[in-house]
Amino acid sequence: MLLRESFSEKFPLIICTLIISEHYTHFLLDEVHERTINMDLLMCLLKQHLEKHKGIKLVLMSATMDSVIFKKYFLGAEIIEIPSQMYDVDVYNTSITVEVSSYFDIVINTVMQIFQNEEKGGILVFLTG
């Protein structure tokens, strides 16, 4: 969203960091191990921005990233590791063979079926982008 906002201003990339600095003081990027062009471009812009504006805060998050690489790239940034715990997971997939007007309705129906028919526990739903 931050890249989209920057590009919507119709400025060259150099100016994007100025737009960023006018509106934001803290940044949180999740899933940084997914090395997409957008993520790499955003990290490059933020690195330039951090070098010029010392009060800016940046948090990079990922369960699987190689934190040493990012620490070197961001000039010795602090690494905070939070231990996690693995949980047993049951995966349910919904197969849709007919055209539907609302995927959200199907998700709600599926969640309600799981809620009513399965043991007590959390339900996490992933929707396609």
Whose CA is closest to 94, among 119, 128, 122? 128
Structure tokens at 115: 């809620």
- What pTM was estimated for this model as a whole? 0.57
Higher pLDDT, 8 or 86: 86
**Mean of all residue pLDDT scores within the chain:** 77
3-state secondary structure of 124: coil
CB 9 within 8 A of CB 19: yes
Give domain limits for the chain. 2-73
Residue 29: strand pairing partners: 60
Q: Where are the alpha helices (DSSP H) in the chain?
A: 2-8, 13-23, 37-52, 67-73, 103-117
pLDDT in tens, 40-87: 888 888 888 788 877 888 888 888 878 888 888 888 788 888 887 777
**N-term to C-term CA, the chain:** 13
DSSP state for residue 63 in the 8-state scheme:
S
CB 66 within 8 A of CB 35: no
